[in-house]
Structure 1
Amino acid sequence: MTDDEYLKRCSMCILPETTPNITFDKDSVCNFCHSHVKVQYEGESKLRELLYSYRKDSSKYDCVLGISGGRDSSYTLLKLVKDYHLKVLAVNYENPFTDPQAKTNIENAVEALNVDVVSFKLKNNIHEKTFKHNFTSWLREPSPAAIPMMCIACKLILPNVIKYAKKYDVGCVVTGGNPYEYISFKRELLNVSTDDNYMNLLTKSFGIKGFGGIANEMLKNPLYCHPMCIPTMVTGFLYGNPYSFGPRFLSPNINLNSDFL
C-alpha cells in the first residue's frame, strides 16, 4: 500500500490532509470547498466601457500593458489591439531568467500588431543577487512558506510599469491573468486564509497577517535580512499586486485593470 492511500482527502476536490490549514467536516468535505466563491464576471461590455473611458485623442497611448511573452499577457495584448482597437504601449521587464522563446514571442507579437514596446532592466543585477542570496539562505533553513522569497525582485515589475504609464500620461494599466491559477497555498502557508477577498491582498487583512507571516519567516532565518534585500522586499510588499498599497494609494490617478482569460 502506498503512502497516498493512507492520506485523507476531500470528497469533493480531493485535496489531501497535508494541505496547509485544511480541515474536513463529517462528510470529508474540506473547508476550502465550503468557503469557495465562484468568480464573478461583470461582462465584456463593462470591460469595454471601462477601457474606453481612458481613451484620450491627445495621448499617444490609451493604456499600458506589461508583457512577458507568456500566454496571458500575449493574449491580452491581442485582445486590446484587435478587439478593442486601443493604442497600447507594451512594457517588458528583461528578466535575466527569461526563456529565449518568450523574447521571440514578444518580438513577433509587437511586430504583427504594430505595437510600441519598451524594455527595462533592474539596476545592479539586483534580481540575480537577491535570488542567489535568498536561495542560499533558504537552504540553511528550508521552509515552504519562504520559497516566494527567491524571486522577490519580480515584485519590482509593477512599479516600473506604472512609471512608464506616468511618463506617457496614461491613466490605465492592464494586466492579464487566469483566476483559476492563483496560488492561494502561499497565503495559507503564511497563515492567511484563502477566505480573505483577493481585493484585500496586501492592504487590509492580508497586509497585517501577511506581513506577520513574512516577519515570522525572517525571524526564523535572519539571513534574509541582508541590507541588499531590504529595499526590494519593502517595494515588493507595497506593490505585490494591482490591489496593494502602492498602486492604490501612491498612484491613485492610474487604474490597474486585470483582464482574465
Structure 2
Amino acid sequence: MRNYQICTNCVMDTSDSNITFDDQGVCDHCTGFRIHVAPKWHPDETGRQMFSRTVEEIRQSGKGKEFDCIIGLSGGLDSSFLLHLVVTEFQLRPLVFHVDGGWNTDIAVNNIQVMVEKLGLELFTEVINWEEMKDFQLAFFKSGVPHIDTPQDHAFIATLYQFANKHDIKYILNGGNISTECVRNPLEFLYYGTDMRQLRDIQKQFCTIELKTYPFSDVLFHKVYLRYFRGLKVVKPLDWMPYTKAMARETLSREYGWKPYPQKHFESRFTKFYEGYWLPERFGFDTRRVQFSSLILTDQMTREEALSQLERPAYDPETIAHEFDYIAKKLGITSEELRGYFEMPLKSYRDYDNSLWMFNFGAKVLQAIGVEKAIKR
C-alpha cells in the first residue's frame, strides 16, 4: 500500500495505482500531456484548414453514394456537437447511426430526436437483443471485474464498424477529443473493451445463454483489416478546431433545445449507475477525476473547482436505493442479488484471459508511425 497523494496540478491521485509524480508533485498524466500531446494538437485555424482538406477527401469518397461518412450518435455532448459541426459548417452527408443497448435515458432519446429532426437527417437505429445483452452484463457482474460496462461499449463499437463495412462507407467520424478526454482512465478500472480473449473467457464462465446475435468484433478486424485492407479511416474532427464543453453545451442548447446531463456518459442509465456509484464505491475510483483533470489541462476548469465538486458524490444518496432497485429489476434479478455482486471479492482484468500484450505492442507501433498519440492509460 502506498501513501495517498494527489497531483498538485490536476486532481488525479493514487486511486490510479500506476500514477507517478515528479519532484513538484505533478503527475505523469500532466507531464505526458505537456510533452507528447499538446505540441501536436492544433485546435485552431491551422487545424481547421487541415480538416478542410480531409473534408474534400470524404466528399470524393462519397460521390455517387447516399452517404459520405458515418457518425455514431449517442445523444451525448461530443457526438451531438460533432453532428452539428459537420452538417452545418462542412455540409457533409453522414449516415447517423445509433445503437440501442436498452439503457437510453429519456434525455438521450429526446436529444437524438431533436437533432436529427432539425438537421433533416434520417436516423438508423440498431437494437441489441435485450436477453443477450442482459445476460452478458450479468456475466460481468458475476466476474467481479470493475469494467462491467464493457458489454454495452463493445456492442456500440462493433455494430458501428460492421455497419460502415456493410454500407461501404470509408470514413467514420468520431466524437473522441483531446479537449475533454486528454487524461485516460486507468486500465485497471476501464480495461480494453475489444479484448476478445477476455470477453470470450467471461462469456464462457458466466453467461447462461448463447449469444447468437450479440455483435462481437475483434480489434484486429477494425484496427487492421478494415483500416488497411478495406480503406476505412477514423477521423476525429473535434481535435482540429476550437472545442470546449461550455461552447458545445451553449450551441446545442440554443440551436436544438438539447438538454445537458449531470455528468459525461450519463446518457446511459446503466453507465450513470456504473460510473456514478458502482466504480467509486466498490473499487474506489471516481471517473470525474479523469474528466475534471482533462478540463484542467485544457484550461476549462480550475483545480479548485474540481476539488470542490469532488467533495460531493456523483450519485444522489437519497435516490441510490431506487437506482439499485431499477437496475436489478431491469436485469431480471433481485436487489439483494445485485448488492451481493457489490460485496463480492474484487477482481480485475488480470484474473481472466486477456491479450494485453497485443494491445501494448499495437499501441507502440501506432504511436511510432504517428497514427495515435501517446497518452497514458
AA paired with 1:186?
P
- The question of 1:116 aligning with 2:122 is answered yes
Tell me the equivalent position of 2:166.
Answer: 167
C-alpha distance in 2 between matches for 1:124 and 1:211: 21
C-alpha distance in 2 between matches for 1:93 and 1:9: 37
Q: CA deviation at 1:123?
A: 2.8
Equivalent positions of 1:66-81 (< 5 A) are 66-81=72-87
Tell me the equivalent position of 1:185.
Answer: 185
Give me the identity figure in percent. 19
Tell me the equivalent position of 2:28.
Answer: 31
Q: CA deviation at 1:66?
A: 0.5
C-alpha distance in 2 between matches for 1:14 and 1:100: 32
Tell me, yes or no, if the aligned pair for 1:61 and 1:168 is still in contact at 8 Å. Answer: no
C-alpha distance in 1 between matches for 2:20 and 2:222: 35
CA change 1:224–1:13 in 2 (3 A) is farther
Equivalent positions of 1:217-228 (< 5 A) are 225-226=205-206
Which structure features the higher share of strand residues? Answer: 1
Tell me, yes or no, if the aligned pair for 1:20 and 1:189 is still in contact at 8 Å. Answer: no
Q: CA deviation at 1:188?
A: 5.2
Tell me the equivalent position of 1:53.
Answer: 57
C-alpha distance in 2 between matches for 1:182 and 1:123: 34
Q: Deviations 1:158-193 (Å, cap 9, x if unpaired)?
A: 232223323333211111123233562332558x9x
Tell me, yes or no, if the aligned pair for 1:172 and 1:256 is still in contact at 8 Å. Answer: yes
Q: Which structure 1 segments of 5+ residues have no match? A: 1-5, 139-145, 193-200, 240-244
Tell me the equivalent position of 1:149.
Answer: 148
- The question of 1:88 aligning with 2:101 is answered no
- The question of 1:105 aligning with 2:127 is answered no
Q: 1:65 aligns with which of 65, 68, 71?
A: 71
Q: Deviations 1:217-261 (Å, cap 9, x if unpaired)?
A: x7xxx787335589999936x34xxxxx32232213211112334
- The question of 1:9 aligning with 2:6 is answered yes
AA paired with 1:46?
M
Tell me, yes or no, if the aligned pair for 1:72 and 1:177 is still in contact at 8 Å. Answer: yes
Tell me the equivalent position of 1:257.
Answer: 235
Q: CA deviation at 1:83?
A: 0.4
- If the length of structure 1 is used for normalisation, what is the TM-score? 0.70
Q: CA deviation at 1:72?
A: 0.9
CA change 1:30–1:77 in 2 (3 A) is closer
CA change 1:64–1:225 in 2 (3 A) is same
CA change 1:14–1:167 in 2 (3 A) is closer
What SS class does the counterpart of residue 7 from structure 2 fall into?
Answer: coil
Tell me the equivalent position of 2:285.
Answer: none
Q: Which structure 2 segments of 5+ residues have no match? A: 244-377
Q: Of the two structures, which has the highest relative contact order with CA contacts closer than 8 Å and spacing of 6 or more?
A: 2
Q: Deviations 1:35-61 (Å, cap 9, x if unpaired)?
A: 333343350121121132122331111
C-alpha distance in 2 between matches for 1:235 and 1:38: 32
What SS class does the counterpart of residue 216 from structure 2 fall into?
Answer: helix
CA change 1:113–1:224 in 2 (3 A) is same
What SS class does the counterpart of residue 174 from structure 2 fall into?
Answer: strand
C-alpha distance in 2 between matches for 1:48 and 1:79: 12
Identify which range, 108-117 or 174-183, moves more after superposition: 174-183
AA paired with 2:7?
C
Tell me, yes or no, if the aligned pair for 2:177 and 2:236 is still in contact at 8 Å. Answer: no
**How many residue pairs are counted as aligned between the two chains?**
222
CA change 1:53–1:13 in 2 (3 A) is same
Tell me, yes or no, if the aligned pair for 1:65 and 1:173 is still in contact at 8 Å. Answer: yes
- If the length of structure 2 is used for normalisation, what is the TM-score? 0.51
